[in-house]
Amino acid sequence: MHKPVLGVLGGVGPLATAYFMELVIKKTPASCDQDNIPMIVFNDPQIPDRTAYILDGGNPNPLPEMTRVVLWLERAGADFIAIPCNTAHYFYEQIAESATVPVLNIMRETTARIVEMHGEHATIGLLATDGTLSSGVFQSYLSDAGLSVMAPSEKDQRGIVMPLIYDRVKRNLPYDPTALLDLARRMHENGCDAVIVGCTELSVVYQDLTHKPDYLIDSMDVLADRCVSYYLEHHR
């Protein structure tokens, strides 16, 4: 019996990787330890910051290290790979081309989930890093599916989104999860049919919410679902 092995390009960031592993395990239909998905995780926090490079190409390029990790995961026995970092998907095409096994795409999977839930003409709020927003990559997946995209105001991006990611989660400092919920609620009230948690550091915050409204869609949660479904589809 072949059990596909999931490879995880982790460390982008480290805590998000740990939460992602937990999500995959909790979502797997298992009656015992042996029913769970075999995982190889390379939690590599030395990968240069993705947003810093996207905003200023003079900063260290994370692509060579991410490619090295993908190839290491393949050699170690991974049959498919997930990257629990939205901003890293700026480099998705190059990463996928370097791999000989499938690399799941968090943005593509999240877009498909949104269309399934809200149709092809919905307005979607996107909570993400400056790098993800400025690159336009996530927006292109959404727009290509017929969805309209709304980003937070500059004040909310500078005052809530980026501080939660870089000043709190990435520094392993306490944070207030209601800040994320309040911002998503305001975007929903201002016309967004759904709001995407489009940064896996924000996914860490999302996991701590006591109330998760239906309009708030966590991209890392979607990716974990896809890892489980891929495993079940190819488990024989």
Write the pLDDT tens digit of every residue in 92-147: 999 999 999 999 999 999 999 999 999 989 999 999 999 999 999 999 999 999 99
Q: What are the tens digits of pLDDT across the range 184-234?
A: 999 999 999 999 999 999 999 999 999 999 999 999 999 999 999 999 999
The fraction of the chain above a pLDDT of 70, given in percent, is 99
Quote the pLDDT of residue 1.
67
Rounded Cα distance, 116 and 137, in Å: 20
Note whether 207 and 147 are same-domain residues.
yes
pLDDT at 45 over 90: yes
* DSSP secondary structure letter of residue 137: H
Is the confidence at residue 48, as pLDDT, over 70?
A: yes
Q: Are residues 124 and 211 located together in one domain of the fold? A: yes
Specify whether 10 is located in the same domain as 75: yes
Instruction: Evaluate if residue 21 carries a pLDDT over 70.
Output: yes
Structural domain including 95 reads: 6-105+222-234
pLDDT at 198: 98
Q: Is 191 left (phi over 0), alpha (psi -120 to 50) or beta?
A: left
Sheet holding 80-82, edge to edge: 39-43, 6-10, 80-82
What pTM does this model have?
0.96
- 213 and 115 share a domain? yes
Is the pLDDT at 236 greater than 80, yes or no? no
Number of separate domains in the chain: 2
Residues 145, 198 within the same domain: yes
The predicted pLDDT at position 235 comes to 87
Mean pLDDT (whole number) for 21-43: 97
Mean pLDDT, the chain, rounded, equals 97
pLDDT at 92: 98
Q: Are residues 88 and 130 in the same domain?
A: no
Mean pLDDT of 157-174: 97
What average pLDDT does this structure show over 34-57? 97
Position 2 scores a pLDDT of 81
Burial 82-106 (b: 16+ CB within 10 A, else e): bbbbbbbbbbbeebbebbebebbbb
Residue 181 included in any domain: yes
Q: What is the DSSP string of 100-130?
A: SS-B--HHHHHHHHHHHHH-TT-EEEEE--H
Residue 1 lies in a domain: no
pLDDT digits (tens, 9 = 90+) for 62-80: 999 999 999 999 999 999 9
Residues with catalytic function? 85, 199
- Map residue 93 onto helix, strand or coil: helix
CATH assignment of the domain containing 25? 3.40.50.1860
Starting from the edge strand earliest in sequence, which strands make up the sheet with 216-218, in order? 148-150, 123-127, 194-197, 216-218
* C-alpha 39 chain-centroid distance: 17
